[in-house]
Structure formats: structure tokens, C-alpha cells
């Protein structure tokens, strides 16, 4: 696994189709990180184009409660440590500073209903920089 050096960015590819994207990046408790999906990048939920901040649709409101993160947008980029339900955080297009509350591998995914990953496609390049 990659342990990031302060100020030296690492880029990882996040696939909308994958339930878990293992990044191979080791996050250390107490350290702070910056996350950014640079520029104009999109991924797709069936025919709906979205960036890492996700999207909302009135006609999908009934299904929002079934999302893996019910309170975050459809297709928002979510970070997770070691696939623990207690170690999840919204990344979106940019997360200026996130201090890790546990150590482990960073996993990512596009927020969706668990059984609805089959119609997802596209990838985003996520740049992660350790700040301290």
C-alpha cells in the first residue's frame, strides 16, 4: 500500500461501476489530506451525467433513502476507510482538508443504491495530497 508523503500528490482512478474502489492508498489517523477531482470530469448513472458533487432528481426522491449514503447526492464521490460503515465521508469535487479519524486503506465509490451499480459507467481521477 502507498503511504503518502506530505506535499506529494497521488492520483487514483475511481470507477462508477465498482461497488468498492480499492485505492491502495494508506490513510493515517491524525494526518490531514486534501482531495480533488480536477477540472471537468464526469461519470454516468445510466444516461445521467454527473460530476463528483453528484446530482438530484425530483423523480428519484422516493429512492433516496435506499442510497448507501442516504443524505448525500446521487453519484457524489464518497471516501471510506477499510470498508467500515463508521468511517465514511463526502469527498465531492473538492475536500480542502480532511483529518483522518482512523488508519487504513482508502476506498471510494459513487453514491448509489447497492443493487444499481450495473448501469454505472465512467471514471474520475482523484488527486490526494497529504497536508500534515
Q: Which residues bind Ca ion (CB under 5 A)?
A: 45, 112, 116, 119-120
**Other beta carbons within 10 Å of 1:** 11
Residue whose CB is less far from Ca ion, 86 or 118: 118
Residue corresponding to grid cell 492508498: 25
Backbone CA torsion sign across 103, 108, 113, 114:
negative
* Residue 99 CB, nearest approach to Ca ion (Å): 31
Residue whose CB is less far from Ca ion, 72 or 112: 112
Residue whose CB is less far from Ca ion, 51 or 120: 120
* Residue 101 CB, nearest approach to Ca ion (Å): 29
Question: How crowded is the C-beta side of 8, counted as CA atoms within 13 Å?
Answer: 6
Amino acid at each position: 500500500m502507498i503511504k503518502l508523503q506530505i506535499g506529494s500528490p497521488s492520483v487514483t482512478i475511481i470507477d462508477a461501476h465498482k461497488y468498492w474502489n480499492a485505492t491502495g492508498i494508506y490513510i493515517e489517523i491524525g494526518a490531514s489530506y486534501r482531495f480533488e477531482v480536477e477540472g471537468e470530469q464526469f461519470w454516468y448513472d445510466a444516461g445521467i451525467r454527473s460530476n463528483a458533487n453528484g446530482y438530484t432528481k425530483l423523480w428519484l426522491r422516493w429512492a433516496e433513502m435506499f442510497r448507501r449514503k442516504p443524505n448525500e447526492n446521487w453519484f457524489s464521490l464518497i471516501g471510506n476507510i477499510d470498508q467500515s460503515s463508521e468511517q465514511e465521508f463526502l469527498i465531492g469535487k473538492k475536500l480542502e482538508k480532511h483529518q483522518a479519524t482512523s488508519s487504513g486503506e482508502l476506498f471510494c465509490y459513487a453514491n448509489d443504491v447497492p443493487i444499481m451499480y450495473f448501469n454505472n459507467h465512467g471514471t474520475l481521477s482523484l488527486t490526494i495530497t497529504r497536508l500534515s
